[in-house]
Every structure is written in structure tokens, then in C-alpha cells.
Structure 1
């Protein structure tokens, strides 16, 4: 890695500016990509090598992320598809969100209209960290909910009753996959996959309506974009077109930073802790009254 590409801790002045922007806002949007979960121990699947490192059995089969995260995988080999998604479901169920989630909640509580989360993550970590369900928009769905792989009946239901048994060595489901209660066929996660024409968006559409109502009340929105990549730029596009100011937390070298935005070149937890500490040090909220 070249010296100028190595992450470095942002300056105190940068954290202080971020704190000033937050104190001047009346609503906070947290736009989160996979990078926010890295400090909790979750993989972010950056590139084929990163994905195959997390799933060596799929590397041996030379299956790319786009091929297994695809509804066609459930038609081609449901045991393998559920081997991948079942492993992720079990991983997310046992993962404890890092303390940055709590610090963001604490910051949001100090703003008049609080915060709203927009995320492409399907892991449910924000809800697990205690965020109100009607303040989270999971734009790509949730692994904690299921649907028929054919989309029959248009129903989405919780995955709570399904406990996957996985052979990690070959990435295959050992127990029967969850069934659709209507047609008896195989159910799949209610996640927007690559090449997906069967995803049922009803649950995410309800969340989006919650966001629209919240957005109508706030007048000075600050957006913190955390760990969002460019391969699937859903979160980046949303963050760059939402709110009055943008703070980007990402350890990568930035070449497309919007004019006037602030880039804190660090990981999620480091950035959140730095902003929280700057707010506390200057007592911005008390000074504002």
C-alpha cells in the first residue's frame, strides 16, 4: 500500500468542524454502508478477494458475490444459496453492534428531530443496537425476514423460526430450507439481490414512507455517510442528495467528494468516537441552549 493511501486519524480541527455542523442541525440522517459493521467484526465483501476470504468454499467454486447473492442461486442450488445466506443470518444474530451505534443514538437524541437511518445493510444491526424500527430504512431489505422465492401471495414474514444448520467447509445448508406457507416452495431472504425481479419491496416501502414523514419536519439536516462504497453506490447517491451538509466517514482515498462536504478519512468507530468527543469537549449543545 502506498504511503498516501494509508488511513490516518483526522485532525482535531476536522472533528471540531463536524461537531459544529451537527450542533447547527435539527435533524441527523445516518447513511450507512457495509463499512459501519467492520468494527463489529462483520465482513464487507470488498472485491472478490475479500468475499472469497470470508467464504473459501465459494472461492473454490469460483462463485462471485454477484452470482451467489442472486435469486437464480436459489433455483440452481438452494442448499448452496441457503448455505451462504444461512451463515450470514447466524452471524448477524450473534454479532453485537460496536459502541459507535450507541454514540450515534446519543448524538441524535440531542437534535430537535432526532435521527433517521438509511442503510443498504441487511444485517439488522441498527435495530439490534436499540434504534426505533420506524426510524430505519433498509433500502435493500433484511435478512431477518423471508419471502417466497417466487414472490407468491406478496407476503413477507419474520425469519425468527428458522435456525440454519450450515456445513461451513462446503457452504451448504444441512437442514431443510424454510418453506413458503402458501405454495410450499422454498423461501428466500427478503433482500434485493443482483438480477432480482422477485424481491417484495413492501416492507421497505413502509419504511420509506416513515422517512418521508420524518423528513418533512426537519429543516436543517446533517447527513453522516458511513462506510459506503462505490461498487453499489446506493448509499453514496442518497447521502450526496440528502440534507444541507455531508460528513463522509471512510478510510479510503476520496476522489469524488462533493463540494463543501467534509471527509473524515477513518473507520466508522474511530470517526464516530472522534465526533462524539468533539461535541462533548466543546459542550456545543449546552452552549446552544
Structure 2
């Protein structure tokens, strides 16, 4: 493991740029749940275990029409959780490694921005819980959720009215997040930074990709990391359970995110 850590530090120290690709596992060391499987999800949210509802079933936009108190109970709780979570020090370590660094993430929690990353340096492929849109689609407006408070009963995980409303039509609002079987999500807020990220990535020939906490169940982040590192083979995959790199290309670190980042940072420090 020491040799792999040293090799990762050598790659990063000599890179033209560093691309961070982060999944849900990146937030676990900040105390956030990773919702790994139904059992993991139910441990994080016991009321849903009693109802037999899975993460995929709850993250369905149809609930905003059929049972808005249930839908906003789930997303309102998550909004409050993410607002009150302090990002672990690994977010700052990544930002300090290279002058040219960008982020691609499937996380909707806004933790990179809370840790000081510039908004336009973070590509959020699944959107952000900190922004809202109209559920009925009266317009293509996307607005900030700042100031929105959702009161949730902790025993039932149902939201109390009034629920977040669209400023244009007065109808129900929903998070600007790509959910399962979601044909109503408005992607234009996410599209701009993602297109800029692709243009930035293509400018760098010696790009090192650091993938963190990205599992195989929803492989969006893994696929992007593998695509971005295809030319150089310089993929550093950090994952305590699924760290294997296909065909032996890259570095596999079967560790939690913060531990791996701290070890790499210690190996980088003498070189600095």
C-alpha cells in the first residue's frame, strides 16, 4: 500500500491537471450516509424500513404529484442534513494539490462548494438539492433553495405544509435533481459547468484522475473517470469495497476517502 500511495503522489506531483471524480462515498467521512443497498438506506432512515420503501422508490418524481408530503419529507430532511454537515478535511486537501483542478460528481449535496471550491469548477451531473424547479413545468426557471425550510416529522418522515412552491405559478416545487425515471428534470443549470469541464479536460495531456467513493450500482462517476483517464491510464481509484481497476491500468486504494487522501497528502508534502 505504501508503494501505491507513493506512486499516486508522484503522478499528482507531475501532472498537468487533476480531475476529481466523486461519488457518495466521498461524504461518508463527513458523517453522511452512502445509502449502500436497501439495508444501508434503512439504517439511515428507519421509518422507511417500516414502510418497506427503498431509496430508488423514494427518489421517484412521481411522489411529488401523488404524495407531496412523503416526497418533501425525504428531500426536506436531506436538504437540512446537507446544510448542517461540515465537509471533512479531504475536500480541502484535494483543492490544494494542483493549481488546475476540477470536479465531476454525482453528489447533489453541495459539499465541494461548502468546502470552498468555486461553483464553476464543480460539474454536478445529477443536479443539486440546493436548487429548485417547478414540479408541473410551468417554466424552465431554476432557483436557489436558500431560505427554504421544510418541517419534517422525524417519526413518519412526512413534511408539514406549507411545502416549497413555484414563484411563478404557485404550484408545488421540487428539487433540481435527476431522480429515477425522471423525465421532468431541468438540466440546463448543470449542463454549462459540465460542458466547460469537458473542454478543460481535453486541454490537458497529462491528466491524473482521482476517483473517490464511486460504486458500481450507479456507475456514472466510474464511467466518466475511466473515460477521462483512458489516454494516460492515470486513474487513482479510492474505494473501501470496490477499488479494483480494470486491466491493471491505474492505482487501486481500498481505503475510505479521507484516509487515502491524508496518506497521499503526506507523501506529497516532502515533494512540495
- Show the counterpart of 2:191: 205
1:62 to 22, 34, 52: 52
CA shift, 1:258, in A, is 4.3
In 2, distance between residues paired with 1:255 and 1:15?
Answer: 15
- Aligned pairs, number: 269
CA shift, 1:59, in A, is 1.1
1:34 lines up with 2:20 in the alignment: no
In 2, distance between residues paired with 1:48 and 1:258?
Answer: 31
Contact 1:38 1:44 in 2 (8 A): yes
In 2, distance between residues paired with 1:46 and 1:216?
Answer: 33
TM-score, normalised to structure 1, is 0.90
Cα RMSD between the aligned structures?
A: 1.2
CA shift, 1:125, in A, is 0.1
- Show the counterpart of 2:4: 14
SS in 1 for 2:21: strand
SS in 1 for 2:139: helix
Question: What are the equivalent positions in structure 2 for 1:220-231 lying under 5 Å apart?
Answer: 220-231=206-217
In 1, distance between residues paired with 2:82 and 2:96?
Answer: 23
Question: Structure 2 vs 1, CA of residues 150 and 30 (structure 1 numbering), >3 Å: closer, same or farther?
Answer: same
1:248 to 237, 258, 267: 237
* More displaced stretch, 211-220 vs 222-231: 211-220
Unaligned 5+ segments in structure 1 are 1-10
- Show the counterpart of 2:95: 105
Unaligned 5+ segments in structure 2 are none
2:80 to 90, 107, 118: 90
Note the alpha carbon deviations across 1:82-131, whole angstroms, 9 max, x for none: 0010000000001000000111011023xxxx111000000000000000
TM-score, normalised to structure 2, is 0.96
In 1, distance between residues paired with 2:132 and 2:39?
Answer: 29
* More displaced stretch, 201-210 vs 131-140: 201-210
1:44 to 34, 45, 48: 34
In 2, distance between residues paired with 1:225 and 1:102?
Answer: 16
In 1, distance between residues paired with 2:190 and 2:139?
Answer: 17
Contact 1:151 1:199 in 2 (8 A): no
In 2, distance between residues paired with 1:255 and 1:35?
Answer: 15
CA shift, 1:257, in A, is 2.9
In 1, distance between residues paired with 2:156 and 2:107?
Answer: 25
1:183 lines up with 2:169 in the alignment: yes
